[in-house]
Structures are given as structure tokens and as C-alpha cells.
Amino acid sequence: MTVHAIRTPNPEEPLRTERELAAMAAELAGTKVALTVRPPASGVVEALRDQIRAGGDPLGEAFSRIRTPRERRDQGATYTPPAIVDNMLAWTARHKSPARVVDPGAGSGRFILAAGQRFPEAALVAVETDPLAILLLRANAEVRGLAGRLKIEETDYRDLSLPAIDGPTLFVGNPPYVRHHRIDADRKNWFANTAAKHGLRASKLAGLHIHFFLKSLELVQPGDYGAFITAAEWLDVNYGSVLREALANGLGGLEVHLLSPRAAPFPDALTSAAITCWEAGHHGSSLAIRTIEGPDQLDELRSRRSVPWSTLGRAQRWSTVIRPRGRREGGVIELGEICRVHRGQVTGNNGVWVAGRIRGGSAARGSLSRDHARS
């Protein structure tokens, strides 16, 4: 085995490479990795340990900085801001107390470790496939004193099996966003076959986050519940219909909180997000909804109004009934009324054409300028 020596970080300088990050995480976790390195400076280790004990995630922040969004795209690794984690867990605590908590894509452990501290009697199950993220998770769990309660499943969530327990299981987290182009044929077939078993129509164009909802439907027992944050396009696109149907039939949709890009749900993408809350076997007459326009509104996930399931069942797109419509300026037609509009995150096309002033009543003579939007 090749032995690599890496630079030891110092308090004035952030971690710069994955090797440095792995070495630091191993030191904090009290484990060994296949690297020979100089011991990290004690001051650096203690500073990071203090941050983790206080509820921070400096290792996860370093991971997101070192491994670029493009490099993380294949695994859909986007870490959720702590304010959103806290408010999602506050909702779950108001709903009921779990006997077990499952995070289907745990990353560095933001959801599962916060849940462990909020629910001190619950068993903790973290599912993750990335070896470096698992090392960060172990380090964070060790420092927070939760390693003894935490079971880490180093597997794809779609392959997970869970033993029966007494009491409800909470499923919570941020399922990875991976577009269908990067999902292999076997997994797409699994998705189609699993949906069919539950009487649901499924499109193989669905992204990985939709697969995770369907796997949760496979795992739940009546009374189990969950809260997932994902990109919000499933509200409208055709391949999101399987989730919309599942929430109405079996997964038990309770609430949807729609976050605008101004609420900064995903640090790596300027896009809307949806926090979807559900309870297996719940059969209510309506879905509680709320729109969150900015970070200042992200205080607590408390719903403001309800939409009957009968209305949602007739709607081809859910965002049209979830988002409140303001007054429209006279003579203005929304673009979505005359053509289909897709976010760049869905289409992969991040260039946006912005129409200029129309002269002489002819769109052909209107000027166009090129703008760019972050997806």
C-alpha cells in the first residue's frame, strides 16, 4: 500500500483536501484510516471538537467546499442548512415521538445526529454510501456522544431492510437529487416494478429522490411518519405523479411546505424546494400547505391553509394550487399559461432567454437578450 504524508491543517487555515479532511475526521472519531500522517495539531482538533459539540458541522462544510457541486452531482450530495434541519425536526417532534429514526442519505449526519439529541430514547439508523461522508458521520457521532446509539448502514437506501420494532419509525432527511440520466437500467426497473406493486404509475424519468420516497413506502408500517426536503419540481412534472399519487394513497400526505429560492434551501443551487411531511396509513380529507418566501419565514413549519384531496386529484400541477396567486397587472399573461416552463435543474439547460420590449406588435421583431441563471 502506498503511504501518503499530508499537510497538517492549522487554526488559521481551513482543510483544503479530502486527505486532510479524512485524517481530521479519523482523529476525531478515534479510528484508523489507510494513511500515515502527522498527528493534527491539538489546537485544531479541539477547536473542531468544540464546534461539533455546539451543534456545528465544520467537517460537512469542509466536504462541501473541497468537493465541488459538479463532483458531488453523481451522488446528489447537497447538505441541508441547519435552520431547515431544526425546523423539520421540530415538526416531527410536534407530531409524535419516534422509537427509531432513519436518515436515508445521512451525509455527515446533520439530520440523524440532531434527531438523536432531540429524541434521546430513539434508535438511530443512518444510510450512506460515500466512504468519506461515513467517516465524517462517525467523527460527528463520536464527538456528540451518539456513536453508541447509531447504526450506520453502508448501502444504497433502495437495498435497505429494517427489522420490526415497537413504536413508530421516523424517516427524515434530504434524499439525494440525481437525475434519471445517471440512474442505471436495473434501478429504473426496480422503481417501475415497486410502483406497480403498490398500484402506482411510474415513469423511468424520475430522479433518485423520487426513488427514495417509493422505498420509504416499501419500508413503512402504519403509523410510521416522515419529513423529506427535496427539489420541488415533483409538484408539476409528469414523473412526479407517482409521488403525488403515493401521498394520496398509502404514504399519507400531511403537509407540503414550498420554499422559494430566496429561502436558500440548498446552498449549491438557486431553486425551490419542498418539505413533504407524511404518515403511513393516514387518510385525511385535505393536504395542509404553506409557502415560504424567505429565510425570515423559516421559523416553524406550521401550515396556513388546506387543499382538499379532491382538488389535488384533479390538478395536473400541484404548484398552481399550493402557491397563492396575487393580483395580476392588467394585460399580463403568465409564461406558464402559454408554454411549459422547466427549471434548469430539471432540463439541464441553464441558459435563459429574456424577451425585450415588443415593437410594432410583432414578437418576431422583439429584441432578445441572453441571461444566465443558476440551477
CA distance 213 to 174: 11
Residue 70, pLDDT score: 80
Query: For residues 324 and 134, what is the distance between their CA atoms, to the nearest angstrom?
Result: 41
- Across-strand partners of 197? none
Identify the band that residue 6 occupies on the pLDDT scale cut at 50, 70 and 90. Answer: very low
CB 141 within 8 A of CB 150: yes
Q: Is the pLDDT of residue 29 over 70?
A: yes
CA 44/CA 19 separation, integer angstroms: 16
At 260 the pLDDT is 83
What does the alpha-carbon distance between residue 77 and residue 67 come to, in Å, rounded to a whole number? 10
C-alpha cell at 53: 459539540
Q: Is 122 helix (H, G, I), strand (E, B) or coil?
A: coil
Q: What percentage of residues in the chain have a pLDDT greater than 90?
A: 57
- Give the pLDDT of residue 8: 42
Alpha helices of 251-360 — where are they, by DSSP H? 309-314, 319-322, 344-347
* Average pLDDT value for residue range 48-75: 89
CA-to-CA distance for 277 and 280, rounded, in angstroms?
10
Residue type, 171: F
369, amino acid identity: S
N-term to C-term CA, the chain: 41
Give residue 34's pLDDT band: very low, low, confident or very high (50, 70, 90).
Answer: low
pLDDT band at 320 (very low <50, low <70, confident <90, very high): confident
Question: What is the predicted pLDDT for the residue at 325?
Answer: 57
DSSP of 185-247, one letter per residue? Answer: HHHHHHHHHHHHHTT----TT--HHHHHHHHHHHH--TT-EEEEEEEGGGGTSGGGHHHHHHH
The pLDDT of residue 222 is 95
Report whether pLDDT(93) > 80: yes
Mean pLDDT, residues 300-315 taken together: 84
pLDDT per residue as tens digits for the range 141-181: 999 999 999 999 999 999 999 999 999 999 999 999 888 98
Q: Identify the CA nearest to 226 among candidates 62, 309, 102.
A: 102
Q: Give the pLDDT score at 36.
A: 54
CATH class of 74-322: alpha beta
What residue segments make up the domains of the chain, in order of their start?
A: 18-71, 74-322, 335-372
pLDDT of residue 301: 74
Question: What pLDDT does residue 44 have?
Answer: 86
- For the entire predicted model, the pTM comes to 0.82
Q: How does strand 225-231 pair with strand 273-279?
A: antiparallel
**Strand 286-292 relative to strand 305-308, pairing:** antiparallel
* HSE value, Cβ hemisphere, 13 Å, CA-based, for 43: 5
Predicted local confidence at residue 321, as pLDDT: 81
Q: What is the CA radius of gyration of the chain?
A: 22
> What percent of the chain shows pLDDT beyond 70?
78
| Contact present, 225 and 334 (Cβ < 8 Å) | no
Q: Which of 41-45, 61-65, 221-225, 369-373 has the lowest mean pLDDT?
A: 369-373
Cβ-contact 289, 304 below 8 angstroms: yes
Lowest-confidence pick of 64-68, 237-241, 306-310, 357-361: 357-361
Decide: residue 166, CB within 10 A, 0-12 exposed, 13-18 middle, 19+ buried.
Answer: exposed
Specify the pLDDT at position 255: 94
- Bigger pLDDT: 330 or 308? 308
